[in-house]
Chain A
Amino acid sequence: MTCTRRLFLGGLATLAAPAVHAQSSVAVRFALTPVFLDNDAAVISSLQAALAEGMGRSIELVQRRTYQEITGALLDGSVDAAWTCGYPYLQHRSDLSLLGVPVWNGRPLYQSYLIASADDPASDLGDLRGGTHAFSDPDSNSGFLVTASDLATLGESPETFFSRTIFTFGHRNVVRAVAGGLTRSGSVDGYVWEVLSAVEPDLTVQTRIVARSEWLGFPPFVARSDRKDDPVVADCSSALLGLADTVAGRSALGLLFLDGVTPADPLLFDGIAARMAILGARP
């Protein structure tokens, strides 16, 4: 997932970092992804403060536009940990380890939504044939893989099924594109759509959910496997898992509409792996 106001938030992160009192000389570089509700500066500040408190270290939040950039930064060591999507995690499963998975509505699971404008008569994916479609990111599970794998099941590809597809590099942007009429339909993170419907109902009311996917593993926090025992990474993992135990952590989680962070089992992402297999088996 991406950041619709990455420049603004990048600047905000840079400005916010020195404000955190460093309890350790080594700062943690943490990458944020578009699963995050990146349109809310308060959420960013709150999460940053909660993690810094939990780790006892200063923290630098790093913003990137695409999952590819986040993954690249993680793999080349530019960042210590990241909140990414299950799809890129699985793509680099051998190099990445799970630090934890957010819990939403009591479960570490979410859905992908296929949305169209509120007055669109489509009742399933097949009705959207020939229209324009907005994806979030080519490495996003809910924002691309689910719809692409569903089309593969139908023997179609996005390029052949839709008249035109665009990537907005942000789940909120997908909702904007559909609500504004730029595209007829879009693939969006169900968690983001639901939270948006609570905080920006004027935006989501212009869209309707055409189809929901099965429940899939929530976008996880990951780090490079070979650095899993690094104190910095370990502290980061502890801080994430203990967010629900601190006031600052609960505040940040509250802003994110999450219950907490739970230790993750790779098996949680089997559903995504199955869809990857479908896409990979595509003729």
Chain B
Amino acid sequence: MTASWFRNLPVTLRVPLVTATLMIVLGLVASQGVLTALRHVQDARLVETARLHLDGLSVALGPFVLRQDVWEVYDILERAQTASDGQRLLQTVVADERGQVLAASDPKRAPVGSGISTYETGAVAPKDVTMTGDPTLRVMAPLRYQGREVGRIVTELDVTDLLAERRRVSLWLLFGNAAATAVLTFAGWLAVARILRPVATLVRAMDATEGVPRPIAEADIPRGDPGLARLIATYNRMTTAVEARAEAERRLAERERFVSLGRLSSSLAHEINNPLGGLLNAADTIVTYADRPEVVRESGSLMLRGLTHMRDVARAILDQNRLDRSAQHLRSVDFEDLRLLFEPEVASRQQHLRWEIGAGDATLAKLPSAQVRQVTLNLLLNASEAAGTGGQVGLTVSNGADELSIIVEDSGPGLGPDHLARLLSSGPLPPGGGVGLRLAHDIVVGLDGQISHSRTALATVIRVDLPVSGDGHV
């Protein structure tokens, strides 16, 4: 979870963070090294202090300890203490060879004649003295005189100042490292942000204009960085390719309108040709029976109906092809036009057509005419083709509170995987086949609608739900 959180951060933040982390680790390692070195130096100072003190006292005290001269031992200890006043020596205790205290620099703490063992607790030899964290350290050494051990000496060293020095150094290291890390992190952030500025430009260009990639201007390409320059050049080529593809798709969609009409051309030709025969007959009848008004009237009436039908068909074809229709609202007449165009196709296959338009003009008017007509015609043509000769095709248009439903059914065997892929997904088109279903899909997606497919025992049902907004999509 943390890793994903980190991955979601911008790279201009991640790199300084990584730098800061490495700095902190480096700072800790370096600080540990400094503190270790400081401890060694302090230990060396302590060893030297303890050794000098005890060696000096041993030389001075030797004869007096041998003679058990309490006063002289005390006098020497007190003078040694006074000489080091405010320094490291806290207390020195001298005992005879039996371990009884002869004198101490503070006799009230170590009375004459008491045992020295109390003061030997935790005491170490001068060469072994080391900082333990305790503000008071005890050092012990035998007192030698004339080649034999005549007593013992224990000294308490005050290392409060050394501990304070270590604390001070630790704090300085802490603050110093924190400040250095902060400064370097900020500098790293600035540097990385500067270095990655072309990348940020690239990201902005990719995110711009609602996902439509925009090429980066030549002036913004960092010529000093060949890698990035190549990356941006590649990106610019890609944007060109995407534009070209979009243009191709646009043209394809444009053509699809003609394609769908092309698919209707045969039946539409029949639709025009059939009345033509009747019209010719009527015309011939008029010529033949020009003197019989009732026959002329009837033939004229017949010709009028035929020509009217031909005019309606021609208008429907023109409407389907009209390029300036994109700004028009959908009306129920549009479905009548579709029926006029589609019925000959149904008739040519001896199919049964069920046509139910249950949506009101108020709802229809909130949708664009061209797109809905194209989607419906494509689905109907597909259904008719699937239903085969003598099959059944149905169109049901109804509206809910805030959507328009277009349901196209057919009695065919159902859509294959390739057709479903074209109709239901935005993925790459499978090779072969037309683009009618994909065009329907793209238009529906463009209108924020949804396409669903279901298969019952008898029919294939394709349902398109289009949201109806207040002002329509036109």
Residues of chain A having any CB pair with chain B under 8 Å: 4, 132, 134, 163-164, 166-169, 173, 176-177, 180-183
Contacts and interface: CB of A to CB of B under 8 A. Distances in A.
A183 B78 contact: no
A159 to B, nearest CB: 14
A173 B75 contact: yes
B57 to A, nearest CB: 17
Interface string B58-94: 0000000000011100110010000000000000000
Contacts, number: 38
Interface of B: 69-71, 74-75, 78, 103, 106-108, 111-113
Contacts of B112: 132, 164, 182-183
A109 to B, nearest CB: 28
Nearest to B108: A181
B71 A167 contact: yes
Nearest to A132: B112
A176 B81 CA distance: 14
Nearest to B75: A173
B233 to A, nearest CB: 91
B74 A177 contact: yes
A181 B106 contact: yes
A19 B94 CA distance: 43
A168 B106 contact: no
Contacts of B70: 164, 166, 182
Given A134-B71, A166-B70, 7 more contacts: A4-B75, A132-B111, A166-B69, A166-B71, A181-B107, A182-B74, A182-B112
- Judged by DSSP, the binding face of A is mixed
Nearest to A174: B71
Contacts of B113: 132, 163-164
Nearest to A169: B71
B178 to A, nearest CB: 49
Contacts of A132: 111-113
Contact of B78 (A164, A169, A180): A180
B131 to A, nearest CB: 31
A-B CB proximity, top 5 nearest: A181-B108, A181-B107, A182-B107, A166-B70, A168-B71
Contacts of A167: 71
A168 B76 CA distance: 12
Nearest to B113: A164
Contacts of A177: 71, 74
B80 to A, nearest CB: 14
Most buried by B among A132, A166, A167: A166
B349 to A, nearest CB: 128
B388 to A, nearest CB: 125
19 contacts: A134-B71, A164-B70, A164-B112, A166-B69, A167-B71, A168-B75, A173-B75, A177-B74, A180-B74, A180-B107, A180-B108, A181-B106, A181-B111, A182-B70, A182-B74, A182-B103, A182-B107, A182-B112, A183-B112
A174 B252 CA distance: 122
B97 to A, nearest CB: 17
Given A132-B113, A164-B113, A180-B78, A173 B108 contact: no
A118 to B, nearest CB: 12
B321 to A, nearest CB: 122
B101 to A, nearest CB: 11
A132 B70 CA distance: 11
Nearest to A182: B107
A134 B72 CA distance: 12
A6 B111 CA distance: 27
A140 to B, nearest CB: 14
A141 B136 CA distance: 45
A3 to B, nearest CB: 12
Nearest to A167: B71
A182 B93 CA distance: 12
B108 A176 contact: no
B108 to A, nearest CB: 4
Nearest to A163: B113
B454 to A, nearest CB: 107
A123 to B, nearest CB: 21
A132 B111 CA distance: 10
Nearest to A165: B70
Contacts of B106: 180-181
Contacts of A134: 71
A105 B71 CA distance: 32
